[in-house]
Structure 1
Amino acid sequence: MSLRILLADDHAMFRSGLKAVLHTQDDLRCVAEVADGQAAVEECARAAPDVAVLDIRMPRLDGLRAAERILGRPGNTTRVLMLTTYDDDDYVYRALHMGAGGFLLKSAPPEETIAAVRIAARGDALIDPSVTRRLISRFADSLTPPAAATELERLTAREHDVLLLLAEAHSNTEIGHRLGIGDETVKTHVSRILAKLGLRDRTQAVVYAVSHRLVAPTPEQRRPAPTRRGAGRRRRGA
Structure 2
Amino acid sequence: MNKLTAVAVPVLLLSAATAQAQSIPGWKAYRAQQTGQQPAPAANTVQAPVAPQQAGSLQPAAPLQPAYQTAAAPYATRPASKPKPEGGFFVGVQGGNGWVYEDIDQRAVAVSAGYRWQAGDYVQVGVEAGSGRLDDTTWRDYEIPEVKFNTIGANARFNFGNSPWFGVARLGYWNARSKDDWGDKVSVDGAYGSLGVGVDIGRHFNLQLVYTAYAYSADGYYYDDEYDVSRADTVTLGGEVRF
Q: Do both proteins adopt the same fold according to a TM-score greater than 0.5, normalized to the shorter chain? A: no
What's the TM-score, normalizing by structure 2? Answer: 0.20
User: Would you tell me which structure has more strand in proportion to its own residues?
Assistant: 2
User: Would you tell me which structure has more helix in proportion to its own residues?
Assistant: 1
What's the TM-score, normalizing by structure 1? Answer: 0.21
Structure showing greater Rg: 2
